[in-house]
């Protein structure tokens, strides 16, 4: 049985079967330790992803500018950690740009013609 916590007992506290450690179901996500409802966090991050600035996002979503910054930083840290975890295992790009040796069109002994 999992324990529950948070407002109206809506979040689950899980237990690892191997090491018996307890952790929140939100651990490792941008929603971890967020006081806002998940829907509002998603709206904030959607506005930021569209390229809307911090102040305008705060006005549109009804949160403080520091809250927008905190949500953005949390999502950015999560994305960076996920990127660092997945990139070492990504396959080599065999269709990438072709590197070739570039040589001058004329032999070096030939001089340029004056105009």
pLDDT of residue 87: 76
How does pLDDT run along the chain (115 residues), one tens digit per residue?
Answer: 567 766 666 667 777 788 877 777 777 677 777 778 888 988 999 999 999 999 999 999 999 999 999 889 888 888 888 788 777 766 666 666 655 566 666 665 666 666 6
pLDDT of residue 25: 72
How far is Cα 98 from Cα 105, in angstroms, rounded to an integer?
A: 20
Angle (nearest 5°) at CA 49 between 44 and 54? 55
Say what the pTM is. Answer: 0.58
pLDDT of residue 86: 78
pLDDT of residue 101: 61
* DSSP string for 58-78: HHHHT--HHHHHHHHHHHHHH
pLDDT of residue 47: 94
């Amino acid at each position: 049985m999992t324990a529950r916590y948070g407002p109206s007992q809506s979040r689950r506290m899980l237990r690892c079967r191997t090491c018996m450690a307890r952790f929140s179901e939100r651990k490792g996500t941008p929603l971890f330790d967020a006081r806002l409802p998940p829907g509002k966090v998603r709206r904030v991050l959607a506005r930021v992803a569209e390229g809307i600035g911090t102040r305008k996002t705060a006005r549109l979503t009804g949160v403080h500018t520091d809250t927008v910054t905190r949500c953005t930083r949390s999502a950015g840290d999560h994305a960076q950690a996920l990127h660092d975890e997945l990139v070492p295992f990504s396959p080599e790009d065999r269709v990438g740009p072709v590197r070739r040796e570039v040589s001058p069109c004329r032999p070096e002994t030939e001089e340029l013609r004056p105009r």
